[in-house]
Amino acid sequence: MIQRFIELGEGYSDLYELLEIAKSNQERITHMLQFETIKNEKKVCSLVVILKPTTTGDFQPLYICREGIPLLENKKSKRVILFEETAEQLGKKVTTFTVKPSTTFPEKELFFNHLIGILRMNNFIPPMK
């Protein structure tokens, strides 16, 4: 099985595309996630929609808006609220993980491989075949 992150952007206008992907693939959604981290001394998050693998080709997409949404101490960001509301409308809960920032890794692909390992260990995505 091929499991791959598809980066849409950093969570600005691309967040609305992520929400549309979730809504238009309601029957394929397995999880909606929030990865929290500290990047450049600021608390930020990535939002992720995981879909079921395709029947033909055995490809599982993980759509991500990476590390562009600030996490404020006193209130939730409007973008996080929109993501949570969409999850609720689709009958899903947003699961939160605390992870290392992508800047810890020399390449973005290594960061994504690290996240895939975390998701496999926690049974959010199936193991390699």
Q: Domain coordinates of the chain in residue numbers?
A: 2-121
Axis-axis angle for helices 78-89, 14-24 (nearest 10): 10
- Phi, psi for residue 100 in degrees, rounded to 5: -70, 150
* CATH number corresponding to 2-121: 3.40.1530
pLDDT in tens, 34-90: 999 999 999 999 999 999 999 898 899 999 999 999 999 889 999 999 999 999 999
- Over residues 14-39, the mean pLDDT reads 98
Q: At residue 128, does pLDDT exceed 80? A: no
Give the C-alpha separation, 123 to 7, whole Å: 22
pLDDT at 129: 72
Beta carbons within 8 Å of 125's beta carbon, 6+ residues apart: 3, 30, 50, 60, 62, 116, 119
pTM for this one? 0.95
The candidate with the shortest Cα–Cα distance to 35, out of 81, 97, 77, is 97
- Over residues 17-31, the mean pLDDT reads 98
What is the percent of the chain where pLDDT is above 70? 100
Question: Is 64 in contact with 119 (CB distance < 8 Å)?
Answer: no
